[in-house]
Amino acid sequence: MMTHKLRILDRSGHTTVRWSTDLQETVDAANRRFNELLAGGYTAFVMTDTTHGEITTTFNPDADTVMVPRMVGG
């Protein structure tokens, strides 16, 4: 069983959505949350190793992902 994480950075610090590739309902829930965040202006990074990621607009159930809110200047 492979478990992956969607880390969501926000004002409270971060939250984590976990799913197992063996449980389709958890994959579907993570995919929905991913798309909600993208629609809300978040940027998604698929982690390529422990310190690097690549921007993506597509949910990958086989990869850990970090979601970062839109940067706002001030």
16 vs 9, 30, 41, 73, CA distance in Å? Answer: 9, 10, 18, 26
What digits encode the pLDDT tens for the residues 2-44? 899 999 998 888 999 999 999 999 999 999 999 999 999 999 9
Q: Is residue 74 part of a domain?
A: no
- In the chain, the N- to C-terminal Cα span, in Å, equals 45
Does residue 73 belong to any structural domain of this protein?
no
Q: Say if 10 falls within a structural domain.
A: yes
pTM, entire model = 0.89
Write the pLDDT tens digit of every residue in 54-72: 999 999 999 999 999 987 7
Q: How many domains does the chain have?
A: 1
C-beta of residue 66 within 8 angstroms of C-beta of residue 44: yes
Cβ neighbours for 36, distance < 8 A, ≥ 6 positions apart? none
Domain interval for residue 21: 3-68
Assign residue 35 the CATH number of its domain.
3.10.20
Q: What's residue 29's pLDDT?
A: 97
